[in-house]
């Protein structure tokens, strides 16, 4: 059996949305589960959409996600070049070969003629399909046109009868009527290949054994297979994956304002948590477990367990997964994903490093992504706090005023401002005001923080500082 080789082949258009990244993760897991190789190929045949610096962006994203590239533009193997715009002579050679074999033909139709056909199709309410006008040109006619400098494309000659059948690892047997297959363009008039053609040539020449891509290509796959058959090449194993939808039910896209990987990363989501979440989006393990490291995923990944149904990108679920990873971070890593957001939102010039470190650490179990630290800690950065209705209702309970009066005195008596002494003040309040449990802690928390829940109360009060706490109590 051939060594398993998969490829991730993005277009260098700048960002990587999460649906795209999920495909890369699936491809990586298929390769590594089988001790195979994972290749990065840059598909830049559409030069109009190319974004400067996008290739580095792709590299950085994969590196952050712990997806190691075995071969690619920056670590060349023996199957390069790995950027399609550097492979143009290869595509021309194979397109010409197909013409000689009678499997493709030169098409000289002008844009005007094609536009007429499109209008005609629209008028008749049918899908536009090229009519094969140039399919039967004689050798002399072709040579004449080329000599006259007429522009041409090379089109694939499709069978018009019968049915094409192939097997997909997720969707099973797929049948497509050949009459639905258009004589697609393989080589454009500017010498660039179309996406479909370049894919087949590159996948074969690079020894790709498994092709994993979006299920929008399911019906087009027979076109690919006809090319493999024309050259007498072995076809790869196909794994089509359903799309990732936004919460609005639309396909995820940057245009809709959906988050890309970098957006999430910049908000303080952890790459390993994003990877873990994306794998579970449309794939399930044999157990009910939901948290996996990359090594564990490599061990258990079975592509036949990929779902046929579209998945919805659920930010609440991502938050749940990410919170799990945040709880396990060491303090330095936690500071890295939170402090930049705090600095952007608040003036920390009068805070010591020790104070900031303690603030972040007491909220470690209360945030699900780095930037969330800003909204949960705003009570430390404002003079006045507003109570919501639930808090007000609680504060109207009998005895709360007395508890707060006693606590205020105990706070005033503290000489050295430490967590231990604050804790003692709470315990003395318990004794002197004859209250306990909720009736002890809740009034103090609401009055000092404006909230009913939060981290350990003595730690919170310590960070607020004696002056601010007394102001709020008064």
Q: Are residues 135 and 220 in the same domain?
A: yes
Q: Are residues 121 and 53 in the same domain?
A: no
| Domain annotation covers residue 446 | yes
Cβ 6 vs Cβ 28: under 8 Å: yes
Q: Are residues 301 and 427 in the same domain?
A: no
| Angle (CA) 446 458 360, round 5° | 95
How is the chain split among helix, strand and coil, in percent rounded to 5? 50, 10, 40
Q: Are residues 92 and 233 in the same domain?
A: yes
15 pLDDT above the threshold of 80: no
Q: Are residues 261 and 352 in the same domain?
A: no
Q: Are residues 217 and 283 in the same domain?
A: no
Cβ 292 vs Cβ 278: under 8 Å: no
Closest CA to 152 of 137, 165, 166: 137
> Which uninterrupted H or E stretch holds 276?
helix 271-279
Cβ 254 vs Cβ 224: under 8 Å: no
- DSSP 8-state assignment for residue 207: T
- Give catalytic residues, as residue numbers: 254
| Domain annotation covers residue 20 | yes
- 66-84 residue pLDDT tens: 999 999 998 888 999 999 9
Q: Are residues 98 and 208 in the same domain?
A: yes
Q: What is the spatial distance between Cα 284 and Cα 129, in angstroms, rounded to a whole number?
A: 40
Structural domain that includes position 362: 330-370
pLDDT of 75: 86
- 367-425 residue pLDDT tens: 999 999 999 999 999 888 889 999 999 999 899 999 999 999 999 999 999 999 999 99
Indicate the residue among 370, 400, 418 that finishes a domain.
Answer: 370
- 219-269 residue pLDDT tens: 999 999 999 999 999 999 999 999 998 888 887 766 666 678 999 999 999
| Domain annotation covers residue 179 | yes
Query: Lowest-pLDDT range, 2-16, 340-354, 452-466?
Result: 2-16
What global pTM score does this model have?
Answer: 0.91
pLDDT of 250: 80
Q: Are residues 234 and 257 in the same domain?
A: no
| Domain annotation covers residue 117 | yes
Q: Is the dihedral of CA 313, 314, 320, 326 positive or negative?
A: positive
């Amino acid at each position: 059996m051939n060594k398993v080789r998969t490829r991730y082949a993005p277009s260098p258009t700048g960002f990587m949305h999460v649906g795209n990244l999920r495909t890369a993760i699936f491809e990586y897991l298929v390769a590594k589960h089988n001790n195979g190789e994972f290749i990065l190929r840059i598909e830049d045949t559409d030069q109009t959409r190319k974004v400067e610096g996008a290739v580095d962006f792709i590299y950085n994203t994969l590196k952050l996600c712990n997806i190691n590239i075995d071969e690619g533009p920056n670590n060349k193997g023996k199957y390069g070049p790995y950027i399609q715009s550097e492979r143009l002579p290869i595509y021309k050679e194979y397109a010409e070969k197909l013409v000689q074999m009678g499997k493709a033909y030169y098409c000289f139709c002008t844009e005007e003629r094609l536009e007429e056909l499109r209008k005609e199709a629209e008028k008749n309410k049918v899908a536009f399909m090229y009519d094969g006008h140039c399919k039967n040109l004689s050798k002399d006619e072709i040579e004449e046109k080329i000599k006259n400098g007429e522009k041409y494309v090379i089109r694939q000659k499709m069978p018009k009868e019968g049915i094409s059948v192939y097997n997909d690892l997720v969707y099973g047997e797929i049948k497509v009527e050949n009459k639905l297959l258009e004589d697609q363009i393989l080589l454009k008039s500017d010498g660039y290949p179309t996406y479909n053609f370049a894919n087949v040539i590159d996948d074969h020449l690079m020894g790709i054994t498994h092709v994993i891509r979006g299920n929008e290509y399911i019906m087009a796959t027979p076109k690919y297979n006809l090319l493999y058959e024309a050259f007498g090449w072995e076809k790869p194993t196909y794994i089509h994956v359903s799309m990732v939808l936004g919460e609005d039910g639309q396909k995820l896209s940057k245009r809709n304002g959906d988050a890309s990987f970098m957006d999430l990363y910049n908000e303080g989501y952890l790459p390993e948590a994003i990877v873990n979440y994306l794998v579970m989006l449309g794939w399930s393990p044999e157990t009910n477990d939901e948290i996996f490291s990359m090594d564990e995923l490599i061990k258990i990944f079975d592509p036949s367990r990929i779902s046929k149904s579209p998945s919805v990108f659920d930010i609440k679920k991502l938050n749940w997964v990410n919170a799990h990873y945040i709880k396990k971070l060491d303090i330095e890593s936690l500071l890295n994903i939170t402090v930049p957001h705090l600095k952007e939102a608040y003036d920390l010039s009068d805070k010591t490093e020790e104070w900031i470190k303690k603030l972040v650490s007491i909220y470690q179990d209360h945030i699900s992504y780095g930037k969330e630290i800003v909204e949960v800690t705003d009570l430390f950065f404002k003079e006045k706090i507003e109570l919501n209705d639930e808090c007000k209702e609680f504060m109207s309970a009998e005895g709360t005023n007395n508890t707060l009066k006693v606590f205020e005195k105990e706070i005033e008596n503290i000489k050295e401002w430490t967590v231990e002494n604050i804790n003692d003040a709470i315990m003395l309040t318990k004794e002197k005001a004859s209250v306990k449990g909720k009736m002890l802690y809740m009034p103090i928390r609401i009055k000092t923080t404006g909230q009913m829940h939060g981290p350990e109360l003595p730690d919170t009060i310590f960070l607020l500082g004696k002056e601010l706490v007394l102001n709020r109590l008064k």
